[in-house]
């Protein structure tokens, strides 16, 4: 397609180039030389005879009536092959279906979700699983977007867009945009046409979606961008789409693949002509000094041998070679092509996609591929990222799949599996774990297999460090002994014993503050806010304390009536009898030395079955397991108080009797 403005520019440039290459002087000399050569080779009488013969031959072969008939037939062919309905059915979007691997005509955007993928796949919803679909995948609450190749647009013109799509139920939604720009613009796009926003497609069938819109005054070219907005549950989500069509007018017509339909359309600036491959109209134009051979399909030069003039080499400014180009050396400052392959197709039964060892695809991706009976490996450089893919060729229902990507945002590596053997490196994956390292988020781990191993640096390296899992928990390795925290000078602040035997302790070499409770290295427990220190049981109540000598200013026993039940007045006589039945003994502890003083107390006989030391059971304290632990001094002290009260009663009675006796004696 050549517009009027573009053709005018081309004419001006061509004239300028001719003027630069051939000045008037050079052309005059060339003109004189040419005339002399013709005069030498062709005598005037010979040329006159040749001229007459040629005129007769042309006259005999093409009569005026024949030529008029040919013109009429040619016009009829154009009219019959190209109709107005054909013109309106053209699809402007290239590579709008029939997708192949490697993918051509579509690019995964280099922003959005870090796990974004654009794959070619199939699904039973579309053509019973035989037709190819594009598949935008992410497990994150972020966008995975793909853009088509650019195509020309007409400003201030009505267009109709349609496509078919479906999605997994956890896809938040889909956006579809036409992103346009003016001729000469260096921006990715100048104008955004929102064709569909937050579109929720069916998870159970493929549906067609259609919209009509009008371009702006500066919309000269554009491309389609399709977005998978993201996953709503952190699981893998997929948006599937195909059969994208953009056409002139406000009516959607049946889908056709871009570039294969027959049409003719005239605008204010240019004429667009396309002819189907089975409806070719060819021409050969001969003009003075020029020969034009034009074919709308295929031009074939058939001969045993075809030679090009080696003294005046053929200049081909642009050529598409669909077969094989064989030669030793290709020299040129620029080599443009669709696909570059290195080596032969990999000879392995797992290479179902016919990969070469190295391929450069039209979207700018460099791919290196390897297959054997056990694995498939592929590395690629594309869209500003380096990716590595590992696919196991051995499995039963689950085939290991590993992917790593290095891009401008950082590094990502993930592990998982595919449900079928993935020989195209494009099957949907179930992700079991991944690690991301980016300047924005640091190190991000997910999954039970993801961990950080600090291997140590001694002879048994790899077994005496620590391991940190995806939750941040720290675990010892086989031969680990300590996990330490120190200051900048290497002084140990905290030592955590992590040996398997449990002999290494946990050491704090600085004061330990827990809320208002402080523990320092000077044998001191401190209440920071000067409040009381409570020793409590987890289920409620006070905990027992085991200690040696206890030094205190006062001893307070909780005896609040509000916390007691079954309160009755004590029988002091009973308690006095119990106290008086206690056997007291003097002794020393086995741990005492010769300087220790003599001790006096009751004895809890935990040695003899038949107790040799009398101590009523009510005065004996037992631990939580019911074992004897010592004397309950709290009960014994109050029993002693009861004994004093009982003795005071007896003294009072004796005093009364004594007074009676004195009265009788004095009476």
**259: phi > 0 → left, psi -120 to 50 → alpha, else beta; which?**
left
Site of tokens 């939580």:
624
pLDDT at site 261: 40
Higher pLDDT pick, 514 / 33: 514
Scanning the structure block, which residue is given the tokens 């309160």? 567
Instruction: Calculate mean pLDDT across residues 427-434.
Output: 92
Confidence tier at 479 by pLDDT (50, 70, 90): confident
Mean pLDDT, residues 478-482 taken together: 89
Among candidates 144, 108, 147, 165, which has minimal Cα distance to 228?
144
Closest CA to 415 of 428, 427, 404, 426: 404
Across the chain, mean pLDDT equals: 83
> Average pLDDT, stretch 221-228?
98
Three-state secondary structure string covering 59-109: HHHCCHHHHHHHHHHHHHHHHHHCCHHHHHCCCCCCCCCCCCCCCCCEEEC
pLDDT-derived band at 254, boundaries 50, 70, 90? very high
- Highest mean pLDDT range out of 205-209, 340-344, 596-600, 621-625? 205-209
Q: Which of the four pLDDT bands, split at 50, 70 and 90, describes residue 325?
A: low
Q: What whole-number distance in Å separates Cα of residue 164 and Cα of residue 258?
A: 15
* Window from 184-198, 231-245, 271-285, 604-618 with minimum mean pLDDT: 271-285
Lowest mean pLDDT among 61-70, 87-96, 310-319, 499-508: 61-70
pLDDT of residue 28: 54
User: Distances from the Cα of 297 to the Cαs of 281, 456, 504, 510, in angstroms?
Assistant: 8, 70, 85, 87
User: Residue 7 corresponds to which tokens in the numbers above?
Assistant: 């053709």
Per-residue pLDDT tens over the stretch 411-424? 999 999 999 999 99
- φ, ψ of residue 129 in degrees (nearest 5): 80, 10
Mean pLDDT of 355-376: 93
Look at the domain 91-260 and name its fold.
Jelly Rolls (2.60.120)
Class of residue 211 by CB neighbours under 10 A (exposed 0-12, middle 13-18, buried 19+) = middle
Confidence check: pLDDT of 87 > 60 = no
**Any alpha helices (H) in 82-228, and if so which ranges?**
84-88
Quote the pLDDT of residue 198.
97
- The pair phi, psi for residue 337, each rounded to 5°, is -160, 170
Provide the total of helices (H) and of strands (E) in the chain, helices listed first: 7, 37
Query: Torsion angle of alpha carbons 127, 132, 138, 143, nearest 10°?
Result: -100
Asked if the model's pLDDT at residue 276 lies above 50, the reply is no
Distances from the Cα of 41 to the Cαs of 47, 311, 510, in angstroms?
10, 21, 112
Mean pLDDT along residues 116-143 = 97
* Integer angstrom CA distances of residue 568 from 139, 560, 564, 633, 651: 71, 14, 11, 21, 25
One DSSP character per residue, 263-300 reads EEEE-SS-EEEE--TTS---EEEEETTEEEEE-SS---
Portion of the chain with pLDDT greater than 70, in percent: 76
Q: What is the reported pLDDT for 267?
A: 42
Indicate whether 452 pLDDT > 80: yes
Q: How confident is the model at residue 345 (pLDDT cuts 50, 70, 90)?
A: very high
399-407: strand order across its sheet = 340-342, 358-360, 366-371, 375-382, 385-392, 399-407, 410-418, 430-438, 442-446
pLDDT at 268: 39
Distances (CA, A) of 544 to 206, 313, 519, 606, 637: 72, 107, 20, 20, 18
| pLDDT for the residue 272 | 46
To which H or E segment does residue 658 belong? helix 633-666
Q: If pLDDT is split at 50, 70 and 90, which confidence band does 645 have?
A: very high
- Per-residue confidence (pLDDT) for residue 550, from 0 to 100: 83
Question: Using CA atoms, how far apart are residues 479 and 460, in angstroms rounded to an integer?
Answer: 8
CA neighbours closer than 13 Å in the CB half-sphere of residue 470 = 12
Q: pTM score, two decimals? A: 0.40
- Cis? peptide before 179, omega within 30° of 0: no
pLDDT of residue 78: 46
Model confidence at 65, in pLDDT bands (50, 70, 90)? low
For the ranges 70-84, 116-130, 284-298, 444-458, the lowest mean pLDDT is seen at 70-84
Rounded CA Rg of the chain: 49
Check whether 150 has a pLDDT greater than 80: yes
Residue 79 has pLDDT above 50, yes or no: no
Whether 13 shows a pLDDT value over 80: the answer reads no
Give pLDDT, residue 281.
Answer: 47
Q: Please state the rounded mean pLDDT for residues 554-570.
A: 86
pLDDT for res 70: 52
Q: What is the pLDDT of residue 569?
A: 93
Q: Are 1 and 270 in contact (CB under 8 A)?
A: yes
- 279-303: average pLDDT: 57
For position 145, what pLDDT does the model report? 98
151-202 pLDDT, tens per residue? 999 999 999 999 999 999 999 999 999 999 999 999 999 999 999 999 999 9
pLDDT of residue 271: 42
Res 301 pLDDT > 90:
no
Residue 543 is predicted with a pLDDT of: 84
What is residue 264's predicted lDDT score, i.e. its pLDDT? 41
What's the pLDDT at 449? 79
Two tokens, residue 338? 């669709």
């Amino acid at each position: 397609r050549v517009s009027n403005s573009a053709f005018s520019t081309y004419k001006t440039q061509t004239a300028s180039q001719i003027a630069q290459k051939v000045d008037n002087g050079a052309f005059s000399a060339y003109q004189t030389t040419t005339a002399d050569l013709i005069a030498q080779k062709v005598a005037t009488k010979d040329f006159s005879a040749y001229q007459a013969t040629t005129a007769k031959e042309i006259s005999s072969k093409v009569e005026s009536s024949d030529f008029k008939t040919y013109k009429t037939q040619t016009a009829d062919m154009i009219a019959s092959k190209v109709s107005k309905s054909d013109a309106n059915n053209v699809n402007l979007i290239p590579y709008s279906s029939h997708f192949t691997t490697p993918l051509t005509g579509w690019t995964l955007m280099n922003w959005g979700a870090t796990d974004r993928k654009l794959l070619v796949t199939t699904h039973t919803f579309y053509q019973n699983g035989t037709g190819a679909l594009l598949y935008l995948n992410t497990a994150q609450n972020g966008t995975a977007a793909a853009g088509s190749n650019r195509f020309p647009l007409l400003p201030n013109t009505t267009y109709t867009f349609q496509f078919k799509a479906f999605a997994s139920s956890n896809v938040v939604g889909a956006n579809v945009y036409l992103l346009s720009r003016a001729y000469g613009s260096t921006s990715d796009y100048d104008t955004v046409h929102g064709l569909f926003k937050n579109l929720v497609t069916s998870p159970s069938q493929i549906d067609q979606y259609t919209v009509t819109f009008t371009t702006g005054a500066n919309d000269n070219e554009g491309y389609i961008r399709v977005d998978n907005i993201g996953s709503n549950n952190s699981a893998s989500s997929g948006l599937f789409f195909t059969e994208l069509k953009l056409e002139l007018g406000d009516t959607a017509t049946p889908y056709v693949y871009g570039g294969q339909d027959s049409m003719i359309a005239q605008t204010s600036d240019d004429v667009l002509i396309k002819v189907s491959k089975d409806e070719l109209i060819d021409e050969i134009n001969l003009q003075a000094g020029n020969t034009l051979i034009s074919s709308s399909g295929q031009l074939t030069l058939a001969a045993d041998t075809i030679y090009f003039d080696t003294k005046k080499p053929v200049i081909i400014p642009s050529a598409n070679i669909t077969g094989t180009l064989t030669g030793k050396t290709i020299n040129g400052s620029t080599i443009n092509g669709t696909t570059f392959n290195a080596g032969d197709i990999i000879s392995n039964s797992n290479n179902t996609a016919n990969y070469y060892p190295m391929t450069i695809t039209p979207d700018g991706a460099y791919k290196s591929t390897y297959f054997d009976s056990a694995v498939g490996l592929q590395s690629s450089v594309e869209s500003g990222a380096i990716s590595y893919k590992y696919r196991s060729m051995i499995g039963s229902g689950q085939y290991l799949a590993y992917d790593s990507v290095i891009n401008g945002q950082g590094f990502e590596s993930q592990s998982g599996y595919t449900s079928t053997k993935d020989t195209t490196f494009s099957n949907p994956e179930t992700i079991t774990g991944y690690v991301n390292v980016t300047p924005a988020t640091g190190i991000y781990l997910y999954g039970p297999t993801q961990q950080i191993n600090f291997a140590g640096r001694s002879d048994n390296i790899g077994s005496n460090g620590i391991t940190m899992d995806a939750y941040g928990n720290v675990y010892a390795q086989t031969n680990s002994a300590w996990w330490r925290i120190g200051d900048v000078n290497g002084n140990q602040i905290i030592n955590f014993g992590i040996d398997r035997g449990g002999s290494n302790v946990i050491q704090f070499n600085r004061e330990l503050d827990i809320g208002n409770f402080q523990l320092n290295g000077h044998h001191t427990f401190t209440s920071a806010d000067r409040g009381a220190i409570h020793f409590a049981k987890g289920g409620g109540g006070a905990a027992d304390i085991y200690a040696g000598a206890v030094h205190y200013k006062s001893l307070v026993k909780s005896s609040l009536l509000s916390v007691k039940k079954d309160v009755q007045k004590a029988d002091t006589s009973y308690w006095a009898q119990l106290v008086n039945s206690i056997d007291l003994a003097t002794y020393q502890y086995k741990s005492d030395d010769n300087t220790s003083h003599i001790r006096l107390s009751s004895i809890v006989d935990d040695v003899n079955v038949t107790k040799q030391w009398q101590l009523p059971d009510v005065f004996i304290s037992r631990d939580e397991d019911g074992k004897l632990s010592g004397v309950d001094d709290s009960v014994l002290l109050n029993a002693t108080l009861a004994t004093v009260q009982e003795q005071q009663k007896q003294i009072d009675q004796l005093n009364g009797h004594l007074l009676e006796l004195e009265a009788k004696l004095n009476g």
